[in-house]
């Protein structure tokens, strides 16, 4: 309630402050017939940036035509421009006699230039956009259209193993920053003609390529339409990473739970697309988004499906358990030691009490010191360059763990509890942020209201989770639909999972036609 109120306020405020201006308006006009005029216009708009190359040349049997190539150095493949555009045009001397009268761009496009991806356009904005995204513009004097020739070729990172999601078993490819590589990685895994990829360009200054990938008939049309509408509504000058897109299209910007999934692994994205989700590939980001995200997704790892089902189920249950430990270990410890001492086994109580004796602060302060210093250490370890990072772990392990206890600032049981909570958090990286926030909220609840506070907090979180419906699909769909239980708390054998998740898929619900166990016995 409170959040939606704040949300409404912000939306209104933004509405009042919105200024209407469009950068590209003055580019929405036809190009001139005169080559000189066109070059002049390009120079005017692009300025004298030294990476913009404007290469004028003459061609034809008697050098009767003059043309120009405009491209950006570094974004294009120079060899390709020389071999496939310049050479064929300049060296071609077999133009017809009355070529000047009948000459059109079609001639060049169809019979001279040896490249596949060529579009013809007569509007400046298209030409500029093409040029700036690494294409080469060809203009010829006396013609009212120009060619945008795809000559993209720039330095890019090769496909490597992703840093964030490493697996023991399973594919090791990861997405890169290159848009085409990413879409090709998906396409390579799903060769069906029903895999559709819709393109979009977002960002008034960055002109970022964005692609929605889904399987027709599997993805829900409503979800698809909502996603399209939301993407189209984005009006912003820059998109730097898929994280930008995520924040612009998510349903619950103020919820601490993520409602849009992401992955760096093409096999994960392909599997999610096959379950009926829609992927959003953003140029320049190795993280591909999937919508809608369900709560259970955070607990599913790619490897769950590559190892045999019993072990996979054990690990799956372990993750749910670890999620609770990560949130409730420290608050639970606070509640037990400040309110419910009678619940602690007697011998343990003595140990804990002896440790408390030497420390000056109340349990909540002690816990806050440890939890906050852990968050600081983690952040420091993440941002630092590798070699320095080791120093952080030494400081973390020795100074924080050992010295803090022997100096009498925190008790050893508290250090252990915080450490268990912290380690458990790493099992579920997707929910890492929600865990950190919930843990601190629960700590305050526990210190003020004890076990009662914890139950109130737990119910509150549960109610909140049950309300979430990203893209119209319940966040708890895997709990709601009994069919989806096959892949939530446990993972059933692949040959048992006949149906796609109920909440997500549309017409083509069956994964396979008949039920056949691996040994063929029914």
Contacting residues toward another protein, per CB under 8 A: 2, 5-6, 337-339, 341-342, 346-347, 349-350, 352-354, 356-357, 362-363, 444-445, 447-450, 453
Shortest distance, position 346 Cβ to another protein, whole Å: 5
Say how many C-beta atoms besides its own lie within 10 A of residue 464's C-beta: 15
User: At how many degrees (to 10) do helices 242-249 and 221-233 cross?
Assistant: 110
Closest to another protein by CB, 101 vs 357, is: 357
Shortest distance, position 139 Cβ to another protein, whole Å: 56
Closest to another protein by CB, 226 vs 447, is: 447
Shortest distance, position 365 Cβ to another protein, whole Å: 11
Shortest distance, position 458 Cβ to another protein, whole Å: 15
What DSSP string runs through 98-112? THHHH--HHHIIIII
Residue 15: enclosing H or E segment and its boundaries? Answer: helix 2-17
Shortest distance, position 47 Cβ to another protein, whole Å: 46
Contact 121, 149 (CB under 8 A): no
Report helix, strand or coil for 302. Answer: helix
Closest to another protein by CB, 92 vs 255, is: 255
Shortest distance, position 430 Cβ to another protein, whole Å: 29
Closest to another protein by CB, 305 vs 444, is: 444
Map tokens 């080559």 to a residue: 35
Task: Quote the tokens at residue 77.
Answer: 């493949």
Closest to another protein by CB, 112 vs 416, is: 416
Closest to another protein by CB, 112 vs 349, is: 349
Residues in CB range of 280: below 8 A, 6 or more apart: 210, 211, 212, 213, 227, 231, 242, 245, 288, 289, 290, 291
Shortest distance, position 415 Cβ to another protein, whole Å: 16
Q: Give the CA count within 13 Å in the CB-facing half-sphere of 59.
A: 25
Task: Quote the tokens at residue 396.
Answer: 């973390």
Separation of alpha carbons 121 and 502, rounded Å: 45
Residue 304 DSSP one-character state:
G
Shortest distance, position 255 Cβ to another protein, whole Å: 18
Closest to another protein by CB, 317 vs 448, is: 448
Closest to another protein by CB, 350 vs 426, is: 350
Contact 443, 368 (CB under 8 A): yes
Closest to another protein by CB, 90 vs 449, is: 449
Shortest distance, position 136 Cβ to another protein, whole Å: 55
Closest to another protein by CB, 9 vs 110, is: 9
What DSSP string runs through 264-291? S-HHHHHHHHHHT-EEEEETT-SPEEEE
Shortest distance, position 448 Cβ to another protein, whole Å: 3
Residues in CB range of 55: below 8 A, 6 or more apart: 68, 69, 70, 71
Say how many C-beta atoms besides its own lie within 10 A of residue 484's C-beta: 21
Closest to another protein by CB, 99 vs 353, is: 353
Separation of alpha carbons 464 and 1, rounded Å: 11
Instruction: Specify which residues 121 forms β-bridges with.
Output: 146
| DSSP-H helix ranges across 397-476 | 404-406, 412-425, 432-467
Shortest distance, position 358 Cβ to another protein, whole Å: 8
Separation of alpha carbons 53 and 70, rounded Å: 6
């Amino acid at each position: 309630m409170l959040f939606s109120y704040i949300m409404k306020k912000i939306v209104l405020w933004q509405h009042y402050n919105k200024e209407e201006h469009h950068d590209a308006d003055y580019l929405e006009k036809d190009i001139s017939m005169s080559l000189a005029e066109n070059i002049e216009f390009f120079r005017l708009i692009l300025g004298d940036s030294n990476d913009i190359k404007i290469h004028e040349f003459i061609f034809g049997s008697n050098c009767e035509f003059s043309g120009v190539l405009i491209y950006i150095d570094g974004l294009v493949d120079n060899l390709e421009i020389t071999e496939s555009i310049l050479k064929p045009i300049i060296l071609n001397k077999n133009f017809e006699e009355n070529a000047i009268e009948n000459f059109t761009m079609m001639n060049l496009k169809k019979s001279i230039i040896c490249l596949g991806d060529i579009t013809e356009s007569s509007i400046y904005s298209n030409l500029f956009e093409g040029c700036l995204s690494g294409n080469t513009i060809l203009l010829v004097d006396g013609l009212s259209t120009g060619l945008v020739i795809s000559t993209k070729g720039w330095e890019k990172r090769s496909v490597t193993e992703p840093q964030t999601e490493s697996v023991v078993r399973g594919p090791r490819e990861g997405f890169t920053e290159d848009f085409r590589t990413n879409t090709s990685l998906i396409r390579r895994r799903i060769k069906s003609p029903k895999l559709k990829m819709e393109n979009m360009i977002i960002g008034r200054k960055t002109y970022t390529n964005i692609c929605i990938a889904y399987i027709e008939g599997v993805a829900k049309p409503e979800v698809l339409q909502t996603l399209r509408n939301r993407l189209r509504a984005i009006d912003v000058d820059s998109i730097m990473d898929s994280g930008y897109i995520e924040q612009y299209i998510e349903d619950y910007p103020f919820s601490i739970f993520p409602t849009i999934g992401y992955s760096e692994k093409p096999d994960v994205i392909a599997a999610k697309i096959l379950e009926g989700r829609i992927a959003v590939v953003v140029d320049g980001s190795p993280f591909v988004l999937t919508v809608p995200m369900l709560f259970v997704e955070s607990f599913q790892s790619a490897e769950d499906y590559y190892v045999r089902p019993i072990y996979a189920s054990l690990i799956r249950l372990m993750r749910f358990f670890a999620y609770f430990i990560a949130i409730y270990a420290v608050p639970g410890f606070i509640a037990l030691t400040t309110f419910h001492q009678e619940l602690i086994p007697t011998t343990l109580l003595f140990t804990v009490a002896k440790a408390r004796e030497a420390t000056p602060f109340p349990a909540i302060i002690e816990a806050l010191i440890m939890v906050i210093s852990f968050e600081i250490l983690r952040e420091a370890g993440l941002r630092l360059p590798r070699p320095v990072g080791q120093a952080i772990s030494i400081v973390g392990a020795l100074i924080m763990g050992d010295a803090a206890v022997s100096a009498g600032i925190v008790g050893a049981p508290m250090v252990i509890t915080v450490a268990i909570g912290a380690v458990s958090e790493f099992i579920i990286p997707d929910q890492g942020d929600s865990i950190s926030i919930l843990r601190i909220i629960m700590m305050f609840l526990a210190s003020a209201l004890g076990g009662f506070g914890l139950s109130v907090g737990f119910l509150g979180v549960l109610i909140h989770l049950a309300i979430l419906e990203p893209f119209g699909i319940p966040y708890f769909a895997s709990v709601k639909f009994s069919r989806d239980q096959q892949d939530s708390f446990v993972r059933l054998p692949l040959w048992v999972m006949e149906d796609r998740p109920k909440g997500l898929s549309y017409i083509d619900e069956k994964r396979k036609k008949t039920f056949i166990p691996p040994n063929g016995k029914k």
